[in-house]
């Protein structure tokens, strides 16, 4: 530092790339709304939309803004160059299209000076043109103010690895030689984990310290790599994080980390890989990287995933992109309606996933049941002779998968399909796949704590039969359970379903179980959307969701309890 240069309290490093629409608001949120002594080090990464001109104009008008052209390419090197130029006692990072709430830096600075910690982490929100939401709503890491923590004191801190909702001592950053890698995606997760591991102590402030803008399309710096390159980039960085954290012999930290990877960050990237366009003839690095990452996993955390989810990971290690994509479709990935796989493809996916050794015996049985048994038994059109014969042949070496049900309450058709696969009887398998035609519900009236279903059943279906409603999570028939008896009321058949019959919050689909002297049959229920009516408003325990029109699956949505909603509301505040 030359004579006469001031030492601000905080240097905020801001890489920019084609953010002319937002950079003024970003700079204003730091320069006008923060009651601390700071400088803003803007490093422009090859903008071509007027961003550089806008930034240099602000620098000419405000000496707290220092503008530089990036010496290389990419957000990582831009941040590293900005750190080299920083003169502040503390270091913060922001993106040129985001906002810093009033008082954010003052809250973090006060904590750091009070405690002497190497870094401070705060809460944040994400926002778009249509909504604002809290990614940390269900995390406990930001709920209370704390000082002098280590990572093992607060393992939840590893769930958030963004660089922009925290403050670092500049000396600590430089002494630890922390740097952003030049990779196309996920360039902040290794530096942040490095900092979490290296910090002598860490502070947490519950204050809102950052507003992250979700931009549509692929215009942001982190969205401009191909699916394959982006996932490979992420996996290389995640492997380094896993190895850094592997130095800790702490079960809670390991469980928190692997739950985050397998259910959130890793899952998001794996889905992107499975759904991305693959370049013909190009060898992907993803399968090998994914295999290396999963070799470090905590087995008990992986085994808690749904078998279908475990299968997608397993198929990813084999590079079986199409099969992985079909499994995603079969489980209704992303809230879409499940699309059953071709039965033979489902069996081949099960065999391939089981062959990787990633799935234990329980998961293999669960996968075979979900992808094969329920697939065959739930079809509206029976499988053809060739398909039945091929399924029986493929299942022959693995009949142990089908000897018992994995569902606490089993559909009649599922039981028949299992028995046919165990016996190797293709004809019986075809018979088991003759599912009942969906029955149209005449009306669905949803009150605050109960719903009434009115059916018009054909005489040949209802005569002499016992009728029962069963509910299950869409895409997960193994979760089904009885929720109400169907009784005759004059010319109508009616059933009442109370909220207490649905054991957990979320969406539940309804089906009809018909038990007659000659056997059992379970059939789907559909309803005209116009025949669904809400009574008592939307604040009760039950409601309906979905914007479909015409015939839709009969579903109920159980809301969280009043207590749980109140706790969530308090946390949002």
Kindly report, residue by residue over 536-552, the tens digit of the pLDDT. 766 678 888 876 778 88
**Cβ-proximal residues to 223 (8 Å cutoff; 6+ apart), any chain:** 215, 217
Q: What mean pLDDT do residues 337-363 have?
A: 95
Beta bridge partners of 515: 466, 520
pLDDT at 223 over 60: no
Q: What mean pLDDT do residues 57-83 have?
A: 95
Q: What mean pLDDT do residues 326-337 have?
A: 86
pLDDT of residue 393: 97
Task: Convert the pLDDT of each residue in 263-282 to its tens digit.
Answer: 999 999 999 999 986 655 57
Direct distance between the N- and C-terminal alpha carbons of the chain, in angstroms, rounded to an integer: 43
In angstroms, the CA 491 to CA 474 distance is 31
pLDDT of residue 489: 84
pLDDT of residue 561: 66
Q: Six-digit token pair at 142?
A: 């930001």
Q: Could you give all domains of the chain from N- to C-terminal order, each with its CATH number?
A: 10-220 (3.90.550.10), 223-432 (no CATH), 439-565 (2.60.40.10)
**Cβ-proximal residues to 336 (8 Å cutoff; 6+ apart), any chain:** 329
Task: Convert the pLDDT of each residue in 399-422 to its tens digit.
Answer: 999 999 988 888 888 999 999 999
In angstroms, the CA 123 to CA 4 distance is 36
pLDDT band at 556 (very low <50, low <70, confident <90, very high): very high
pLDDT at 573 over 70: no
Residue bearing tokens 């103010």: 145
pLDDT at 222 over 50: no
pLDDT of residue 281: 59
Q: What mean pLDDT do residues 182-207 have?
A: 94
Q: Quick count: other Cβ atoms within 10 Å of Cβ 310?
A: 24
Counting residues of the chain whose pLDDT is more than 70, the rounded percentage is: 92
| Mean pLDDT of all residues belonging to the chain | 89
- Report how far apart, in Å, the C-alpha atoms of 486 and of each of 459, 494, 535 are: 14, 5, 21
pLDDT of residue 293: 98
Beta bridge partners of 507: 557
Q: Quick count: other Cβ atoms within 10 Å of Cβ 297?
A: 19
In angstroms, the CA 199 to CA 294 distance is 27
Name which residue leads in pLDDT, 480 or 211. Answer: 211
pLDDT band at 292 (very low <50, low <70, confident <90, very high): very high
Could you tell me if 542 and 451 are in contact, meaning their C-beta atoms sit under 8 angstroms apart?
Answer: yes
Q: Quick count: other Cβ atoms within 10 Å of Cβ 14?
A: 28
| DSSP annotation string for 391-406 | HHHHHGGGGGGGSS-S
Task: Convert the pLDDT of each residue in 352-373 to its tens digit.
Answer: 999 999 999 999 999 999 999 9
C-alpha gyration radius of the chain:
28
In angstroms, the CA 323 to CA 538 distance is 40
pLDDT at 120 over 70: yes
Q: Quick count: other Cβ atoms within 10 Å of Cβ 57?
A: 13
Between 184-198, 218-232, 282-296, the lowest mean confidence (pLDDT) is in: 218-232
pLDDT of residue 381: 82
pLDDT band at 380 (very low <50, low <70, confident <90, very high): confident
pLDDT of residue 551: 86
In angstroms, the CA 278 to CA 318 distance is 14
Q: What mean pLDDT do residues 251-270 have?
A: 95
Counting residues of the chain whose pLDDT is more than 90, the rounded percentage is: 67
Q: Six-digit token pair at 435?
A: 């599912």
pLDDT at 523 over 90: no
Name which residue leads in pLDDT, 129 or 158. Answer: 158
pLDDT of residue 484: 92
CA–centroid distance for 508 within its chain: 20
| 3-state SS, one letter per residue, for 109-138 | HHHHHHHCCCEEEEEEEEECCCCEECCCCC
Could you tell me if 347 and 397 are in contact, meaning their C-beta atoms sit under 8 angstroms apart?
Answer: no
Could you tell me if 504 and 558 are in contact, meaning their C-beta atoms sit under 8 angstroms apart?
Answer: yes
Q: Six-digit token pair at 71?
A: 């010496």
Q: What mean pLDDT do residues 316-321 have?
A: 96
pLDDT of residue 539: 67
In angstroms, the CA 293 to CA 241 distance is 10
Between 187-191, 395-399, 485-489, the lowest mean confidence (pLDDT) is in: 485-489
Task: Convert the pLDDT of each residue in 85-106 to its tens digit.
Answer: 999 999 999 999 999 999 999 9
Q: Quick count: other Cβ atoms within 10 Å of Cβ 304?
A: 16
pLDDT at 3 over 80: no
Residue bearing tokens 């996933």: 353
pLDDT at 495 over 80: yes
pTM of structure: 0.84
Task: Convert the pLDDT of each residue in 410-464 to its tens digit.
Answer: 888 899 999 999 999 999 999 887 766 788 899 999 998 999 999 987 776 677 7
């Amino acid at each position: 530092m030359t004579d006469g240069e001031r030492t601000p309290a905080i240097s905020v490093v801001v890489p920019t790339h084609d953010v002319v629409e937002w950079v003024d608001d970003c700079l204003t949120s730091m320069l006008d709304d923060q009651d601390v002594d700071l400088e803003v080090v803007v490093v422009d990464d090859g903008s071509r939309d007027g961003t550089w001109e806008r930034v240099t104009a602000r620098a000419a008008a405000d000496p707290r803004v220092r503008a530089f052209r990036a010496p290389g390419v990419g957000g990582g090197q831009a941040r590293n160059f900005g750190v080299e130029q920083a003169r502040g006692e503390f270091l913060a990072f922001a993106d040129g299209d985001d906002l810093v709430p009033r008082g954010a830096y003052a809250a973090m600075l006060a904590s750091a000076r009070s405690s002497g910690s190497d870094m401070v982490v705060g809460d944040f929100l994400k926002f778009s043109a249509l909504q604002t939401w809290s990614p940390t709503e269900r995390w406990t890491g930001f709920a209370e103010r704390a000082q002098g923590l280590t990572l093992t004191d607060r393992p939840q801190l590893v769930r958030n690895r963004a660089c922009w909702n925290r403050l670092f001592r500049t000396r600590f950053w430089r002494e630890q030689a922390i740097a952003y890698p030049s990779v196309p995606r996920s360039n902040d997760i290794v530096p942040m984990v490095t900092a979490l591991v290296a910090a002598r102590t860490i502070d947490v402030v519950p204050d809102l310290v950052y507003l992250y803008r979700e931009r549509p399309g692929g215009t942001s710096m982190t969205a401009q790599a191909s699916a394959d390159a982006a996932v490979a980039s992420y996996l290389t960085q995640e492997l380094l994080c896993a190895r850094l954290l592997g130095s800790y012999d702490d079960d809670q930290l390991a469980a928190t980390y692997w739950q985050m990877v397998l259910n959130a960050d890793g899952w998001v990237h794996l889905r992107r890989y499975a759904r991305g366009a693959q370049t013909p003839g190009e060898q992907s690095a993803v399968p090998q990287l994914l295999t290396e990452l999963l070799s470090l996993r905590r087995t008990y955390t992986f085994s808690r995933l749904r078998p279908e989810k475990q299968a997608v990971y397993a198929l990813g290690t084999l590079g079986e992109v199409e099969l992985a994509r079909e499994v995603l479709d079969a489980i209704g990935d992303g809230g879409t309606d499940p699309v059953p796989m071709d039965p033979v493809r489902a069996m081949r996916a099960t065999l391939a996933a089981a062959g990787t050794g990633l799935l234990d015996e329980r998961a293999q049985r669960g996968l075979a049941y979900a992808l094969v048994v329920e697939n065959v038994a739930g079809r509206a059109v029976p499988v053809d002779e060739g398909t039945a014969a091929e399924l029986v042949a493929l299942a022959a070496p693995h009949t142990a998968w089908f000897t018992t049900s994995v569902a606490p309450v089993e559909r009649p058709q599922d039981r028949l399909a299992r028995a046919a696969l165990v016996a190797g009887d293709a004809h019986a398998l075809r018979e088991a796949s003759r599912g009942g035609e969906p029955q149209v519900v005449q009306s669905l009236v949803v009150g605050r704590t109960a719903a009434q279903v009115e059916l018009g059943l054909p005489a040949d279906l209802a005569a002499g039969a016992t009728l029962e409603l069963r509910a299950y999570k869409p895409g997960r028939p193994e979760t089904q359970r009885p929720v109400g008896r169907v009784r005759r009321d004059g010319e109508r058949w009616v059933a009442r379903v109370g909220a207490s019959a649905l054991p957990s919050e979320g969406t539940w689909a309804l089906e009809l179980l018909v038990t007659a002297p000659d056997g059992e049959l379970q059939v789907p229920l559909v309803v005209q959307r116009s025949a669904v009516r809400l009574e008592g408003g939307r604040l009760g325990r039950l409601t309906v969701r979905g914007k479909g029109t015409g015939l839709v699956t009969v579903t109920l949505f159980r809301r969280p309890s009043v207590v749980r909603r109140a706790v969530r509301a308090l946390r949002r505040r």
